[in-house]
Structures are given as structure tokens and as C-alpha cells.
Chains A and B, each alone.
Chain A
């Protein structure tokens, strides 16, 4: 079955530090890949996505590249801010959609804390 593995947290960084959160996946075919972010007490917000190999998703300074050869979708940001403190989830959706499932499979989440 499908699975997503994220690096264990929590991750604590100083403001303006470089961020990498690793994400690898297991799936057949070419799934769509997503990063969602969850702020305390809130639901999930889509951060970025990529739907095919070598696509780069980007938003708010965050980037992730869909690497089919390494089945990875690592999240990066060059300079984190205190406001980036949240839990980050990597997710995939199986590519054989159409009439099929729109189910997302999530990683366990990585809690990021950015200190001033």
C-alpha cells in the first residue's frame, strides 16, 4: 500500500536558519505529492504541491521538488521566521484517479519551532 515517511521531529531552529524536512514515499505509478501545514488549533492548509516527476512546488519561500528516482519530496526554506512555527505534513494521492479514490496518505508530521 501507499505510505509516507517524514523525518521525526520536533525540529528547533533559530530565525533565518535553513530548513529541510525530509519526506520519502512508497506508491505505485506517479502519485501527486503535497505539503500541508497545520498551525496550533487549526486545520490543514495546503502549502505546495507537485503532480509529476521533476516538478517543483513553491509557496511563501518554501520549495519541494518531486524526485521520482529517489521517491522523495523534501521541503526546504532558505530563511525561516518565527511565524513558520507549525506542524508540517507530507502527503500523497495515488495517481490512478478518475473514478477512483481521492484519498490522501499522510506522513506523521514534523513539528517545527523557530526561536528568535
Chain B
């Protein structure tokens, strides 16, 4: 079974631009979560989507948004990029439900904002 895939793997943007990252979960997984990883703050939860609905959101500004499609694929968007948005963005998928809480991570998209 194929793992979680994320595209693109690397991105370079300039301040003020916007960016869209894509995540395809493991087949059959309907929950997709996004995390931001930086050297200073570590791994921080952005949001989770399940059945095309945002179920939970972390403490990030409204510039960070996401959505999920009917095939469970998810995208996250960051508008008006700031230098501090440079990070590794990780997507994780899970089945959701009792006893199925394990999240499986993709390789990440590394975003550099100049």
C-alpha cells in the first residue's frame, strides 16, 4: 500500500506570495492532519480534516487554511507569506476511530520564504 505523498517536496517563495501544498493520504484513510516543523518551535499542529470538514485547528493565524476533497486528498494554503513561515510542512493520515489513532506521516514539503 502506498504511503502518504506530498507535493511539491521543495518550494521557494518570496514574502507576500501565497503557496498551496498538497497531500494524498494512504488509501482508505479519511483523516488528514497538517503540522509545521521549525527548529525553534518544533512540531506544531496546524489543523485536521475528516470527511471534508475541519475538525480541529491549532494556534496559527488565519493566513493558514486548508481543505479536503471527497477523495480525502487535502491541500493547505498559506497566504501573504512571511519569513517565519519557512518550515517543513508535514501531512499525516489516519483511519480515525477507536483503536485507529496512529498517524502516518508523509515526507514533507520544505518551504523557504525569501
Contact = CB atoms under 8 A, between A and B. Distances in A.
Contacts of A116: none
B48 interface: yes
B7 to A, nearest CB: 13
Interface in B41-56: 42-43, 45, 48, 50, 55-56
A42 B96 contact: no
B104 interface: yes
B97 to A, nearest CB: 8
Q: Which of A93, A98, A104 has the most chain B CB within a 10 Å cutoff?
A: A104
Interface string A42-85: 11111001010000000000000000000000000000000000
Contacts, number: 62
Interface of A: 32, 34, 36, 42-46, 49, 51, 89, 93, 97-109
Given A102-B33, A106-B42, 19 more contacts: A36-B105, A43-B6, A46-B103, A46-B105, A49-B102, A93-B101, A98-B98, A99-B55, A101-B55, A101-B56, A102-B48, A103-B48, A103-B58, A104-B33, A104-B35, A104-B43, A104-B45, A104-B92, A106-B43
16 contacts: A43-B4, A43-B105, A43-B106, A93-B101, A97-B101, A101-B55, A102-B33, A102-B50, A102-B55, A102-B56, A102-B94, A103-B33, A103-B58, A104-B92, A104-B103, A109-B43
